[in-house]
Amino acid sequence: MARATFLFHGDITQFLAPERRGGAFAYECARAATIKHAVESLGVPHTEVGHLTVNGVPATLARAVRDGETIEVFPYEATEPASDAAPGFVADAHLGGLARLLRMLGIDTLFENAYSDREIVELAVLERRIVLTRDRELLKQRDVLRGSFVRALKPEAQLGEVIARYGLAPHFQPFTLCLHCNLPLKPAARSEVAELVPEGILQRYTHFVRCPGCRRTYWEGSHWTHMRDMLKRMLEHRDA
């Protein structure tokens, strides 16, 4: 066995057993274990680790744990976008409200109540998506390279958390994706939707968009106003 001293910083201590929070502690693991294995056996998903040091020197999760070392683990920190391309997400069954809000902002987000953990991991790998979940065990899977344990419980707070973590603000394109199937919306003439929306809506609004997949029709109604107000509040709070 290799016995090392671990010290976790920031909010990732919430994943630890209560008696291991707030200070350094000794932990034994197999000599062949990597720091990733040790960290996850202590309850912390590897996706929540930002950086770490061994005896004060930067190290990676792939490094082996050696007897007598001191390992400090720091949380993932919010970053600015790494590229001009917006990231894509896949959300688990606990985050349907969050997925809908991300789609409202034009952020590509896959979500189905029926997704199994295996399907979520496969989508993340094949389409290079970031996993959003409240299931820490899902994030511990080896093939999940990028993911986030969403701390907040309410969708609006969850949205703010994800926006901050992944620097999404420059990628907002509100009301360009279908809220139900995530496909890009297409402009639709009033004549095309005349039999699809109530007469009062047809008379009140001139701009309509439709989803080419589920065929739902959207217009600038109350949900537009709600999202704009919510986005304004979030941006004001961020800049305060």
pLDDT digit string, tens, across residues 1-32: 899 999 999 999 999 999 999 899 999 998 88
Provide the pLDDT for residue 177.
95
Instruction: Give pLDDT, residue 110.
Output: 98
> Among the three residues 174, 199, 230, which one is the final residue of a domain in this structure?
174
Please give the residue range of the domain that contains residue 82. Answer: 78-174
Q: Note whether 103 and 155 are same-domain residues.
A: yes
Average pLDDT over residues 96-101: 95
Q: What percent of the chain has pLDDT over 90?
A: 70
Task: Tell how many helices (H) and how many strands (E) occur in the chain.
Answer: 8, 12
pLDDT at 77: 85
Cα 89 to Cα 54: distance, rounded to the nearest angstrom: 32
29-33, 37-41, 114-118, 131-135: least confident range = 29-33
Whether residues 125 and 162 fall in one domain: yes
Count of the separate structural domains present in the chain: 2
Q: Are 98 and 155 in contact (CB under 8 A)?
A: yes
Strand blocks (E) in 9-165 = 25-29, 49-54, 57-59, 70-75, 89-91, 109-111, 130-133, 147-149
Give the confidence band of 235 by pLDDT, cuts at 50, 70, 90.
low
Per-residue confidence (pLDDT) for residue 81, from 0 to 100 = 55
Q: What are phi and psi of 218, to 5 degrees?
A: -125, 150
Last residue of a domain, one of 18, 48, 75: 75
